[in-house]
Amino acid sequence: MRRAELVFIPTPAVGHLVSIIQFAKLLLDREDRFSITVLLINPPFPPTLDAFIQSTAASHTRIKYIHLPQVDPPPEELFRISVEKYVADFIGSHKSHVKEAVSSSVLSNSIPLAGFVVDMFCTAMIDVAHELGVPSYVFFTNNAACLGFSLYLPTRHDQVGIEFSESDPESVIIPSYVNPIPSSVLPSFVYHKEGGYISMVNLSRKLKDAKGIIVNTFHELESHAFSTFLDDGIPPVYGVGPLINLKGQTNSDANQAEHDKIMEWLDDQPPSSVVFLCFGSMGSFGAPQLKETALGLERSGHRFLWSVRLASPPGDDKIPAPSHCQNLEEVLPVGFLERTREIGMVCGWAPQVEVLAHKAIGGFVSHCGWNSILESLWHGVPIAAWPIYAEQQINAFQLVRDMGLAVELKLDYRSGGEVVAAEEIEKAVKCLMNGENEVRKRVKEMSGKSRKAVMNGGSSFASLAQLIENMLGSNVVPKE
């Protein structure tokens, strides 16, 4: 039996690392001939990823981790000017270290190297794979429609040669989306003149140099987007999702106590009665928005579990990092915690996957990160869309307008933007928790399809089989 080694290069961020490692584990479960080496780039700022890596390393011995040497990150002011350029420059600065690690620690082994699997923000590493004479596969952490948007960017740039402008038409037609995209929900980097736009164009341009593109989605959810990938020049696209870590992330001792408290509280609530508010690892709001959210929840009359993260104060020169609020009484309306004591729970960290799986949860107010969307659909929990940054606005638009799988809360909200009023939050929560809502029925139906997709005979199961055949048929680098 011929063995093959794959080198994985993830982006050092929780949402990217967790899903690509889930894919690595899935690949190993399906194919005994593979072994995987993961090259880890040390994140330039918190949160640390050590606990998750240690847990995975202990449970999957066919995944080997190599920490790349520390490099000096770009200046912090670049992060505040353009997150996209900061990330692209930081990851690109590791190319020589990637080549050295592969040459010394992978090519020296007896197992032939079948290729690289690089995260969507690591497409610069395709050049390293080419230098070593092996193919590359891109792991696209977002959805298929967003992949279509990434493929569209270089084509558009070659035609107009400049970033988007506020004076452009109010909507743009991108083939992978069913409806024209309002300019208000395009990722903010498309307007960026300071390097963010061109960095994303360059990263996206490398997609066509890959031998295949792996997407954490499934055909039944995004059949329209998949139908647009048949043009010449686009590598095969493999939908292998949903990739979900159903066990959740490893808890620290402090998180375990919070975890137990949350789950015990949920156990005491009626089925489908609780709305869950959680906004991802980097999602946060300032005190004025937290006050309006509290008022909206209270007026809705529904039970709630709310993960509160406080944003860095305006004018803070440090790289923004959400923090747990040490004194909730200072940022929430006077008397709110006491008045809602019987129906609500406010927490800091929350075990999102386990919460969404709980029978008490009836709705999810979410930032619409793609991992969160897939987790919510898997468990049949409808979403009220409240995006914050990056591609979340266009994800929310797709979910609400193209798919009818979410309730609109505020599709064009941006981090640090105008405060969303309590009335809007109250209205969205009431709509979300309506048991007769058509969205709820559609989500339940899609939940069943998501589970079938990964089972034997399902679309993602078959797509993964095709990908494995492609990988094992590659011209692997022979060993001396």
415 falls in which pLDDT band (50, 70, 90)?
Answer: confident
Closest CA to 20 of 241, 206, 235, 212: 241
In degrees and rounded to multiples of 5, residue 34 shows phi and psi of: -90, 145
Residue 309 has pLDDT above 90, yes or no: no
pLDDT band at 232 (very low <50, low <70, confident <90, very high): confident
Assess whether the previous peptide bond of 75 is cis (omega < 30° from 0).
no
Question: Mean pLDDT over residues 187-196, rounded?
Answer: 94
Place of tokens 């798919």: 403
CB atoms near residue 123 (< 10 Å): 26
- The predicted model gives 224-252 an average pLDDT of 86
pLDDT in tens, 391-402: 999 999 999 999
Q: Name the residue ranges covered by the structural domains of the chain.
A: 4-241+454-472, 253-448
Tell me what the pLDDT averaged over the chain comes to: 92
Q: What is the pLDDT of residue 271?
A: 97
Res 360: pLDDT: 98
Superfamily for the 4-241+454-472 domain: Glycogen Phosphorylase B; (3.40.50.2000)
Taken as a whole, the chain contains a residue count of: 480
pLDDT band with cut points at 50, 70 and 90 for residue 322:
low
In the numeric block, which tokens belong to residue 120?
């969507």
Specify the DSSP class assigned to residue 402: I
Q: Which two structure tokens, joined as six digits, stand for 455?
A: 């089972």
Question: What average pLDDT score do residues 304-309 get?
Answer: 95
Average pLDDT over residues 414-430: 95
Q: How confident is the model at residue 430 (pLDDT cuts 50, 70, 90)?
A: very high
Share of the chain above pLDDT 70, in %: 93
**pLDDT score at 256:** 86
4-241+454-472 and 253-448 share one fold: yes
Does domain 253-448 fall under CATH 3.40.50.2000? My reply is yes
Which range has the worst mean pLDDT, 123-132, 284-293, 307-316, 438-447? 307-316
